[in-house]
Amino acid sequence: MKGFLASLTALLFSSVAAVPSGGVTRGPFLDQVDNQTWVIGNEVWNVTQGRQYGVKLFYKEHDCVGDAVGHYVSYNGAASDLIWASASIDKKGSYDGSEYIDVKFAAVEGDMHWVIFSGLAGAYQYFVNHNLPTLGEFRTLWRLDNTTFPNGRTDLRDEELPPLSDYIAANKVQDETWLQPDGTGYITKYDFTSWIRTQTYYGVYGEGFGSWYINPGKDYYNGNHLKQELMVHRESSTGDAVQLNMIHGTHFQVSAVDVFPDGKMWGPWLWYLNDGSKPDAEERAEKEFADWPYNWLEDEAYRTRGSVKGKLTLSDGRPATNAAVFLGDNNPNKTAVDMGSDYYYTAYADAEGYFEFTDVRAATYGLQAWSNGSSIADVTTSFLHNDVVVSKDETTDLETLEWQVSTKKTLFQVGDFDRYSYGFLYGGAPHEHGLVDKCPADLTWTYGESATEDWCFGQSKLGNWTIAFDAVMQRNDTASSAGKNATLIVSIASYSTGVSSNIYANGVLIGNLTSGTPQLLSDPGLYRSGTAAGEWRYLEFPFDAAVLRSGENEVTFQVTKNTTWHGFMWDSIKLEW
């Protein structure tokens, strides 16, 4: 009898898991095979979900997972996969003429939801926290068949994933990075990194099949405008095509460890299947962005939203043109890119300094702003305005906010203050491991003569980078300079530990950038293929103004300790009198 029941269970499992995608008229469904196996889907696709992995993804009568791992949810890298204790239909409904079910997979840490509409190739997904630990990385992902999905696409890169045969153990140079077999370059998963806040759709695809993530709402992500994450890659141990949904990530930060309130919701986002067509995925993304926030999700906190608007004016009378504006934690004790417990919103001011945030969850926020280059590229200060209250269906008008800026005289400036390496040689280039090797050991840049692109985006090698400038010191300046300060402002777009630098003004030591100090803890941006940003740092070095003289002067950054592919990625350097 026991053998008969086992055979019956196996038959049931086989018949359900292999439901074809064509020729069957069936709406969205949840079928329970046993106490740790379920099948979900609709008339287009279906997935067999075990306690840990979602496998047997049938779409167009083809198993898109094959020998790969499948779908799962995990935190702190691959250290902890969520284990599903139960599955149930949390809600049934109809929206815009289509029936749907909301399937909830419950784990100790929280609930993973799949919202399955009739006829939709894919599903909306969201996760609700109940007991996640304090963590840095939290993700959902697909690991799919590598022959069905040989290519990866982000907003910044679209190409074939490297073949598994190129991942030669003897050629490994650091984490998930290998020298190419022909020695001409490197293979690394970090090349498929993109900006979280600007991505529209991304995923893996091949001839006849595409699997995409479309995340129209960005408020559940940690970080600000500079938040970037790994999105697709080749799994180096198995060759799986990886479609990564890093909804709380730390890949390019010093740290981003957060405690989450019960009920924190990530999503919904759309996991979308098609025939591999990028134009179709782009069209679908446009629809999803237009529909956000989704009216079919009847969660009260999710639907309780308002808006914020205002105008930023600099204290010298200029409008804060194109400033980056951020709604984040109230009375913050973290940098904007490190915030991640709650919900976060990004925008840019227009030419006149006006800004607006729409569809903001009701709460109390802190408003921040900083220069994003353009006509305010000289602005070194940041703006903070706390206690911004957002209420349901109301617009919070902050009217005109004054942003205090420095009134000191500028003796020189290298690059724009925008928290990126843009404008410098290789700054913002396509992601490439080891690009900083192309920057020189020694460099001289002359203010008023050299172009911005004559300064390289990163300094890593032992040597001297010198800024030459003329200072026209008036007689009263020279006479009164003793005991007074000049200030060297050093804005760093990213820093990877292992490189230290002494800073000299006309041969006099005025400061240092020392590896491992609290101001210079390591972020992986530079050695993980980053070319534009990692985690921003701002440092000031006041020194005796008597060091300066009328006529020719020099400020030198002398690297005294170095580590290959580590070092400083520059944003801007400015000397104020």
pLDDT tens for the chain, residues 1 to 577: 333 333 333 334 443 444 444 344 689 999 999 999 999 999 999 999 999 999 999 999 999 999 999 999 999 877 799 999 999 999 999 999 999 999 999 999 999 999 999 999 999 999 999 999 999 999 999 999 999 999 999 999 999 999 999 999 999 999 999 999 999 999 999 999 999 999 999 999 999 999 999 999 999 999 999 999 999 999 999 999 999 999 999 999 998 899 999 999 999 999 999 999 999 999 999 999 999 999 999 999 999 999 999 999 999 999 999 999 999 999 999 999 999 999 999 999 999 999 999 999 999 999 999 999 999 999 999 999 999 999 999 999 999 999 999 999 999 999 999 999 999 999 999 999 999 999 999 999 999 999 999 999 999 999 999 999 999 755 455 444 555 789 999 999 999 999 999 999 999 999 999 998 988 999 999 999 999 999 999 999 999 999 999 999 999 999 999 999 999 999 999 999 9
Question: Is the distance from CB of 336 to CB of 318 less than 8 angstroms?
Answer: no
> What is the distance of C-alpha 534 from the center of its chain?
10
- Cα torsion angle, 76, 81, 83, 84, sign: positive
Task: Name the strand (E) or helix (H) holding 503.
Answer: strand 500-505
Q: Checking DSSP bridges between strand 551-561 and strand 209-214, what pairing results, if any?
A: unpaired
CB of 60 closer than 8 Å to CB of 19: no
Strand pairing report for 551-561 and 463-471: antiparallel
Q: What is the pLDDT of residue 75?
A: 95
Establish whether the linkage from the previous residue to 261 is cis, with ω within 30° of 0. no
pLDDT at 457: 98
Q: Is 77 helix (H, G, I), strand (E, B) or coil?
A: coil
Rounded to two decimals, what is the model's pTM?
0.93
Cis-peptide into 268, omega within 30 deg: yes
pLDDT at position 354, please? Answer: 98
Residue 1 pLDDT: 35
Nearest to 96 by CA among 128, 119, 72, 78: 119
Phi, psi of 8 (to 5 degrees): -65, -40
Q: What are phi and psi of 176, to 5 degrees?
A: 50, 35
The predicted pLDDT at position 484 comes to: 73
Q: Is the separation of the CB atoms in 124 and 140 below 8 Å?
A: no
Structure tokens of 432? Answer: 């490439």
Residue 253 CA neighbour count, 13 Å, CB half:
23
Which residue, among 358, 329, 330, has the nearest Cα to 344 in the 3D structure? 329
pLDDT of the residue at 25: 63
Angle at 157 between CA 155 and CA 162, to 5 degrees: 145
**What domains sit in the chain, N to C, each tagged with a CATH number?**
2-302 (2.70.98.10), 304-403 (2.60.40.10), 410-576 (2.60.120.260)
Any residues with CB less than 8 A from the CB of 192 and at least 6 apart, and which? 152, 154, 157, 230, 231, 232, 233, 431
569 neighbors 495 (Cβ within 8 angstroms): yes
**CA-based torsion, 501, 503, 509, 515: positive or negative:** negative
